[in-house]
Amino acid sequence: MSEAFDAVDVISHKRDRHELSDDEIRWVIDAYTRGAVADEQMSALAMAVLLNGMTRREIATWTAAMIASGERMDFSGLSRPTADKHSTGGVGDKITLPLAPLVAVFDVAVPQLSGRGLGHTGGTLDKLESVPGWQASLSNESMLGQLEDVGAVICAAGSGLAPADKKLYALRDVTGTVEAIPLIASSIMSKKIAEGTGALVLDVKVGSGAFMKTRDDASELARTMVDLGTDAGVTTVALLTDMSTPLGLTAGNALEVRESVEVLEGGGPDDVVELTVRLAEEMLEAAGRGGQDVRAALTDGRAMDVWRRMISAQGGDPDATLPTAAETHVVMAPSSGTLTRLDAYAVGVAAWRLGAGRARKEDPVQAGAGVELHAKPGDTVREGEPLLTLHTDTPERFERALAALEGGVDVVDGGTAETADSVVIDRIAADSGR
């Protein structure tokens, strides 16, 4: 067939810092999905976008074109409004697990389409697959039925949502263009908009354990995604949250499920509880159900009831014993004093090397592997007391995990840690600077 544009011309326009027209963008996404634009040409265009950026109009059109490459889900037949949350990824970020059932308590359906971990960031599906019997894959019909009956579902996204993004993401991963903010934003939002949720809250991580290392970059990404959601008619808000230190006291799959259950039982680490409650409040407000006593639903058992029903509906046994690693290694505090730094990236890489994560999408993960924290920055520690416990089924992994932790822990005699009052750094909403 005769093509409407030439790929070289489109690449050259963006290389030379011109805006791409709507027709050029729609054509290049469609042609790449069809195979009429080659990988090397799309990688050149992605690099031009990384270097020269895109306008709000260009990003919106690019996102819409990726949505148009596949199907769109429709939740309008449900008896309750829908709200979803997306995290840009971090270490110990198990928030989705207690959050989805907590929001569902208040008659808001949560269609949480989640992914698997890659590299130092954990994946929600990997965590839940450590629950015996639990299944990540659901048909659209089963998903709708569970949303109506239980109110919450956490499952894998179907292959029909934004297939152009799946192809482009794989290309960006091997061409050094993952960090392009317009492409990150359109990748996330094309799937979330195609998913069909009525409200969306974005948890944009910033710090050493996040993809966005600086507040300026995180703010730009958050603003871009809020604009995309708003332009598409989805009520969207973003929170910037700290990822300089791991969330909670665990990084790993079954370890994080265990900690999530503690939160649903009314306990758990303060930072996990705080972020879960804050995100739930934002989701309920965006869905028109604001003003609820969210924290009470964690302490009185209502959120736990929904969790048990949600796990059971997907074949899991909420009463089953979670897997534990065959081997452990305790890391002792090197000296006495204040733990002033526990680097999220170092802990994330250590958990990955222990078997909790994967280097390639097809790699298996160990359910019991990971890192358990016995102290957080600001705590007083004593020399020789446990600081971290490493978990793995394959003890030959300990050496490389310990190497990842080198330089990631600071203990200072008489020192103080720069700990914030809240894990939430900022809030970005539509048509406002904040």
- Active-site annotation, residues: 86, 165, 172, 187, 191
Identify whether the C-beta of residue 362 lies closer than 8 Å to the C-beta of residue 326: no
Count of beta carbons in the 10 Å neighbourhood of residue 233: 9
Question: Cα 19–20–26 angle (5° rounding)?
Answer: 155
Q: CB atoms < 10 A from the CB of 146, how many?
A: 21
Structure tokens at 187: 């990748």
Question: Which structure tokens are listed for 116?
Answer: 């698997």
d(CA 319, CA 332): 33
What is the amino acid identity at position 392? T
Are 318 and 312 contacting, i.e. CB atoms less than 8 angstroms apart? Answer: yes
Structure tokens at 2: 């005769």
Q: In what order do the strands lie in the sheet with 250-252?
A: 250-252, 370-373, 386-392, 327-332
Q: Please, what is the end-to-end C-alpha distance for the chain in angstroms?
A: 48
Residue 416 to residue 419: CA distance in whole angstroms:
9
The 10 Å Cβ neighbour count of residue 179 is 14
Which helix (H) or strand (E) segment holds residue 98: the answer is: helix 96-104
What H or E segment, with its residue span, contains residue 383? Answer: none
Identify the burial level of 291 via C-beta atoms within 10 angstroms of its C-beta, where 0-12 means exposed, 13-18 middle and 19 or more buried: exposed
In whole angstroms, give the CA distance from residue 182 to residue 207.
20
Count CB neighbours of 377 within 10 A.
18
Is 179:211 a contact under the CB 8 Å cutoff?
Answer: yes
d(CA 336, CA 331): 14
Q: Which residues pair with 339 in a beta bridge?
A: 411
Which amino acid makes up residue 7? Answer: A
Other residues' Cβ atoms within 10 Å of the Cβ of residue 23: 11
Residue with tokens 């998903």: 143
